Structure 1
């Protein structure tokens, strides 16, 4: 199994100025921390990395900043775009920069059919030569990958994994079993959705694509290792301890909380891209209090 699709894949924010110019020094700092923590992979330009708000040129600048400091840690790169030809170019950029794989979401304005999404993925992979991970993110794209569509794509050489949102327990175990039944043996099945991921990792999910891990890799690694190492009691205890953070994620969005947390930690003072507004003073104070109480690392 490719190492980038097992264990902890940590997803940092992509600091940029109000005009959308990436702060490469901040990207290097964030990615360097993850590499030093020895995460299993780094998810650059994911949804937490606000890929949809950045131009192709700025995405490439982020790549060029991140890849050298990632060292031996595989980097997965978001290559989603509305148009297939644009996604091809983004995937070509990621391959040229040395990315291990691309994360491709079914980004759309007009709702897409399963056949359209299938052709989109096959074309991007074939024309770029970059291995692709299916990025199922229905909360953003309003398209959900069915087990049948995952089955079709998993048979295509170059489609090498899937990133699914973690359903609330006990739905995660059933979702994992449904996908396992249709994909080739060894095809990696990973999950996002930090506050629901523990049970699906315990059930055998291959990877945690983690928002929290983008700033607090050691804490995320501890939970991942416990869950995947068979210590369900420890994994559940660690997850329960993190409930104050999960509550903030659910209420305020993980993206806004991570931008606030990065500022509180002194890693960057960048704000989310407009029209997303940064947290107000009261909410930011709650984030600071939660981080202090949890003593994350």
Structure 2
């Protein structure tokens, strides 16, 4: 066998193994989605969106309390996390640049993005829940915001750095102060990328369960008071899916389907915005 034939053989083997691995991975993904869609659609009904939690055996139970609670928790997390993430990313890109402090913040952000969410939950439990003496919606939103900030920070930093420096120089040459250059020139050039980061950050925290177990806990009834334990879709899925009652398990499948479709939609929208920017 010649050297060229040997290289072709190795290439074919590696290509075959890579293709097989991709098929196996996609196969498992389609299997999971198939089971989720089949069981989720079967369990869906209008009662799920209009009724609150009910005892086992009651067919009138729904997920209204969990849906509203999840929306409130994620909304407050975004209210805290989005501005902080964008402003921090702006500092790194426009002021910190390649300074030692900026690089340290970037490294910490990368570590935070890969940190287990249960660790964030335990941290917020120690600094918020324990001093307050009880679980609360505020603690849950703070935990989700902490998870969200590094994602938005790094995305904003990367997107702002992609804006050509010539645009900044042109604005400075016209006499615009730095803050106006950032708001009216840099942000405009990177708005699609920043929005993508925000959507991906929201999608990430919308599916978190572990930090909420330590912070907002759960409630089987509708509660909009952020100073008290609050229901969430993710914790409700955990409770219902692990219960021995068939009707609760069906509600768990419906909740998992709703949450998965929501996260999938946000990810698709985020990717479309990113592709739109690349197309420019």
> TM class, shorter-chain normalised?
under 0.3
Q: Which has the higher helix share?
A: 2
Structure 2 length as normaliser, TM-score? Answer: 0.25
Bigger RCO (CA 8 Å, 6+ sep) = 2
